């Protein structure tokens, strides 16, 4: 395997850094087929720990069992050479911690997070550091980016360099008290994250970490402002007794969502040097591979670190029949992503061209009324035809496309009337010219 030369790391072409943490640096990269991925290159002081790398190599087989539309799957790993690395699906979006809160579509967020949690637990892994910073919002859908790697790094002496085990306010009380972090701890973190998204406030307040941790253990969460349909679920998930919390499957059932779909992103495997674990680590009680799991953080920010995580206390899947295979991304997921992107571009064109047509038609209403009506009629005809095509098609966004088209026609006519009433033709002509220049500059920059 070739070492990083500023351009490539193994078969991956590194494009730009996304963030750095206590254990590695995350890069945006291209795989051999030209698809974007996130590559985390371990820091030299981490790579020097041979025993930790061996354990991490063993855990990758379990990490790649976690898959679904709401998790950033581990795709590849290589623990050899001077620059060991792990590869995950790249999620383009912003962290929940930096988007405006309360979020608009709270049900969509809750259902997506519940499905992600169930996907993680079904693979026998516990996230242990689920929080808003570890939830990426991609086109309104949540994607969890942190799971699967910590046990291999538990023995590292570098934990003093800034690696964070978890975040008070989102860690369960039993974890803060030094007990084992199981699947119920993730359910607690899920509810705390969702409470933040619903209310716009930290559920256990702010201040010194010790004060926040004390409130988690001894006080009730602040859920004022949470919607009535969600508050009972949040309270059940935030109870202090881990045994009293619902499971991820029960949370999904209460939110009315199905079990997460598996295999949506195609057949995944290890194309690097990570090997299939030895039988002693494949779910045999008492082995390191059975007791703990870990996960990779691809959080694009200075705080992106490897964080401690453990498996869910469930019976781990049988890994004996797994073979090491080259990863081939799923065609269905790629097609859906492309369709979503095309729909976004089309919507922007419909709205943008509608505003420009309204400006031109309003400017021409007094001196050239026939031209004004012709502009409106031409735009309306084109958009209505597009809506008719959407009605006859079986696309993923048929309903949304029709609503956008018909709303644009009504909006353009209304804007035409308002503008032609309030402004003179000369002023409107200046507006139209300015809009044209801005549009051209935007296209050139794009």
List residues forming the annotated binding site. 40
Catalytic residue list: 129
| Residue carrying structure tokens 């703990």 | 292
Q: Tokens in use for 143?
A: 């994607």
- Given a contact cutoff of 8 angstroms between Cβ atoms, the answer to whether 305 and 297 are in contact is yes
Which residues make up each annotated binding site for ATP?
40
Nearest to 22 by CA among 136, 129, 99: 129
Backbone angles phi, psi at 88, to 5 degrees: -125, 165
- Given a contact cutoff of 8 angstroms between Cβ atoms, the answer to whether 194 and 109 are in contact is yes
Other CB atoms within 10 A of residue 154 CB: 15
Cα–Cα dist 282/430, whole Å: 71
Nearest to 260 by CA among 130, 121, 89: 121
- Given a contact cutoff of 8 angstroms between Cβ atoms, the answer to whether 106 and 164 are in contact is no
Q: Tokens in use for 320?
A: 């004996």
Name 78's bridge partners. 85
Cα dihedral 47, 50, 55, 58 sign? positive
- Given a contact cutoff of 8 angstroms between Cβ atoms, the answer to whether 57 and 267 are in contact is no
Other CB atoms within 10 A of residue 444 CB: 7
Cα–Cα dist 401/421, whole Å: 30
Cα–Cα dist 271/294, whole Å: 20
Cα–Cα dist 316/321, whole Å: 13
Secondary structure (3-state) at 302: coil
Secondary structure (3-state) at 154: coil
CA angle 135, 139, 142 (to 5 degrees): 25
């Amino acid at each position: 395997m070739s070492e990083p030369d500023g351009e490539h790391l193994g078969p991956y072409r590194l494009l730009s850094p996304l963030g750095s943490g206590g254990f590695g640096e995350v890069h945006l990269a291209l795989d051999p087929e030209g698809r974007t991925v996130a590559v985390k290159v371990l820091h030299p002081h981490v790579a020097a720990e041979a025993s930790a790398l061996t354990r991490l190599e063993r855990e990758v087989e379990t990490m790649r069992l976690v898959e679904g539309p709401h998790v950033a799957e581990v795709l590849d790993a290589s623990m050899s050479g001077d620059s060991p690395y792990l590869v995950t699906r790249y999620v383009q979006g912003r962290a929940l911690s930096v988007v405006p809160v309360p979020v608009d579509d709270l049900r969509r967020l809750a259902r997506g997070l519940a499905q992600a949690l169930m996907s993680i637990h079904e693979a026998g892994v516990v996230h242990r550091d689920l929080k808003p910073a570890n939830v990426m919002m991609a086109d309104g859908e949540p994607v969890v980016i942190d799971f699967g790697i910590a046990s291999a790094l538990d023995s590292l002496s570098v934990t003093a360099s800034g690696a964070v085990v978890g975040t008070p306010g989102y860690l369960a009380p039993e974890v803060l008290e030094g007990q084992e972090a199981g699947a119920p701890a993730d359910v607690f973190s899920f509810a705390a994250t969702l409470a933040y998204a619903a209310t716009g406030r930290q559920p256990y307040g702010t201040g010194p970490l010790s004060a926040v941790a004390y409130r988690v253990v001894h006080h009730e969460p602040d859920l004022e402002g949470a919607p009535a349909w969600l508050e009972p679920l949040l309270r059940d998930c935030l109870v202090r007794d881990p045994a009293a919390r619902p499971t991820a499957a029960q949370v999904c059932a209460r939110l009315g969502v199905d079990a997460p779909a598996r295999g949506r992103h195609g057949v995944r495997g290890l194309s690097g040097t990570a090997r299939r674990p030895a039988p002693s680590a494949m779910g045999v009680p008492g082995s390191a591979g059975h007791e703990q799991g870990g996960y990779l953080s691809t959080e694009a920010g200075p705080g992106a670190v490897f964080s401690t995580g453990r498996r869910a206390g469930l019976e781990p899947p049988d890994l004996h029949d797994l073979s090491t295979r080259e990863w081939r991304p799923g065609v269905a997921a790629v097609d859906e992503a492309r369709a979503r992107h095309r729909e976004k571009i089309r919507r922007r064109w419909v709205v943008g061209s509608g505003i420009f047509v309204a400006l031109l038609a309003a400017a021409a209403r007094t001196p050239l009324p026939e031209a004004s009506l012709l502009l409106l009629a031409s735009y309306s005809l084109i958009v209505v035809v597009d809506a008719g095509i959407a009605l006859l098609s079986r696309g993923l966004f048929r309903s949304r496309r029709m609503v956008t088209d018909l709303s644009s026609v009504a909006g353009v006519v209304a804007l035409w009337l308002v503008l032609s009433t309030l402004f003179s033709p000369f002023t409107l002509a200046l507006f139209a010219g300015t809009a044209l220049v801005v549009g051209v500059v935007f296209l050139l920059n794009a």
